[in-house]
Structure 1
Amino acid sequence: MVKTAILVSGDGTNLQAIINAHNFGKIKNCELTAVISSRPNAFALERAKNAGIQTFVVDYSMFPSRAGFNEAIYQKLKSLDIELVVMAGFMVVLGSPVVEAFEHRIINIHPSLVPAFCGNGFYGIRVHEEALNYGVKVSGATAHFATAVADAGPVILQRVIDVREDDTPASLQKRIMEEVEWKILPEAVSLYCEGRLKVVGRIVHIKDA
């Protein structure tokens, strides 16, 4: 079983999607070992406790530098003997020493078709505002391996939905979350835990089951 830690910062809807998929046997060979939050009041912690998953808080606001925060995250992951890290609405870009120690072992979800509408400052509703302002006809979400550069790691899975004429940023955000994010993030976790992902350069190859 792959010992997995979920990093969260907020409400935890993507965490809940992972918990639900795991409970229904859709994520194979995975142990949900811990949920670690960068904010002590994140509702995601309650979701984890309700699911019987141990929780930890590494409060970003308590660290004078991002480097200190990253070191604390690294030490917590190391102490728990974590193999796979999943960023599920985690609002801090990870850096050294986490990304080096967990190369191709950190999965993130982003609510656009990377490399469109991604990178520093592109999170939450802004992603969908920019997509609609640009006039795209399709949008979606991307599950990818995280690196020290925001949303720049190798793509694992992408899925699209049509943009409707009457879409608002809020309606597009909701549909992408429900129809795409909540499906491809658990799927990407399962693919990793099943040993079906191989990274060659920037390309993620998915082995047949």
Structure 2
Amino acid sequence: MAMGLSPAQIKKAADLKQSLLAAAAQIAAQQGIQALTLDAVAKQAGASKGALLHHFSSKADLLDALMTDLLDHFKADLERYAAADLNPRGRRVRAAIYASAYFEQDKNRLGVAIAAAMQFDPTLLNRWRELAAQWLDEDLAEADPVKASILRLVTNGLWASETFGLYPMDVQQRAAVVERLLAMTRF
């Protein structure tokens, strides 16, 4: 046991941390990053500010945890799609297409809020850049480099379009676009 805490106390602390993250994600996704304050998160979660500060020492710490959670969800989607793909050539690119086209809408909104925060927080931006570079390296290792780069850029555009409602597509049109992109990955 950590620091003499019972398993029930450890679970309660972990549950509170998840509640605080969920509250922060909801505020950021629905109201924008400017509304994400420690007081607002504590209030939304029904916790004291002291309890929040026990888990997250600052807004930057909270944003880092939100970004980690978001990226963990996206990486899990990437891995799930890649694992289901039997063709290793272009597998990672196809997984990125699926994950971007069908990522949960509330996670997309949170991604937008975090992207806004990255403009002012070089630490968040550098984490994102490092991960994007890693993903692109993985794509390039199993596919034609130019085509993989083009498809990654298009996939990012698809994500942005879905997130911001720039070019609304019905379910059939989105499926057709995804299928055409997938056909391009058959290198």
Point out the structure with the larger helix share: 2
What TM-score, normalized by structure 1, do the two folds share? 0.28
What TM-score, normalized by structure 2, do the two folds share? 0.31
Point out the structure with the larger strand share: 1
Larger Rg: 2
